[in-house]
Amino acid sequence: MPQKPLPSILPAASAAPRHVAIIMDGNGRWAEARGLPRGEGHRRGVEALRRTVGAAGELGIAILTIFSFSAENWSRPQAEIRDLMGLLRLFIRNDLADLHRNNVRVMVIGERDDLAPDIRALVEEAEELTKGNTGLTVIVAFNYGSRQEIARAARALAVEVHAGRLEPKAITADQLGARLDTAALPDPDLIIRTSGEQRLSNFLLWQGAYSELVFVPIYWPDFDRAALEAAIDEYHRRERRFGGLVAHTGS
């Protein structure tokens, strides 16, 4: 039988945000700082991902979205791309059974049409095997770019307008959002980026409109449970207004 999700160990006042998204940055720089090949940084990054998925489930996070491979990453050297694709294959083949056993659901967002057939098959296998799981949901942003995602949603609306099923003046933000890859998901409460860089790099631009952003100075291979908890603590120190005002009492 699937294992029940572990309860949060955070105090009630510091309960984990429902949806956390992470830009996993700095694998190559981690390796270069140690005189190692960049591929070793990516391998250590997979270990950090395993730690983070485990910690997310234990801390009571419902949805964890990870930026694993962007649409722009195809411009990297071919040897590095082969390394990354090889690690993806290994991760799905070696870790999928454990994720399924622990009641984790895996979903993948991003463009699939131009993926290699075996990669696309692995992606579909991961989703199909875990679609009934009810614990932590892990969203893998793979071959993903937020601008490209928004453009696909706009094209879908244009098709409906052209077919006469939708009036242009009837198009709303909600309708566009309903055609994004993440249509069935709540927006992220917290977006974390490792490596010290302070930008979103074409990641969840629409969905992150009111997300809290936390930039941590460590490279992704060094990210661990303590770093995740520290980011959550920072999240709880923020005052989330969603464009409005928060009423204050007292003089």
pLDDT per residue, tens digit, the chain (251 aa), is 333 333 444 444 458 999 999 999 999 999 999 999 998 998 999 999 999 999 999 999 999 999 988 877 777 778 778 777 777 787 777 889 999 999 999 999 999 888 888 889 989 999 999 999 999 999 999 989 999 999 999 999 999 999 999 999 999 999 999 999 999 899 999 999 999 999 999 999 999 999 999 999 999 999 999 999 999 999 999 977 766 655 454 44
Indicate the CATH number for domain 15-145+185-237.
3.40.1180.10
Which pTM was predicted?
0.88
Delimit the domains of the chain by residue range.
15-145+185-237
Structure confidence at residue 202 (pLDDT) = 95
Structure confidence at residue 220 (pLDDT) = 96
Closest listed residue to residue 92, CA positions, set 108, 78, 77: 108
E strands along 28-82, which residues? 63-70
CA 7 to mean position of chain CA atoms: 22
Cβ-contact 190, 211 below 8 angstroms: yes
Catalytic residue among 25, 83, 181, 189: 25
Helices 38-59/78-101 angle, 10° precision: 30
Q: Is 102 a catalytic residue?
A: no
Catalytic residue among 27, 73, 98, 133: 73
Structure letter (DSSP) for residue 135: S
Structure confidence at residue 244 (pLDDT) = 66
Q: Is 133 a catalytic residue?
A: no
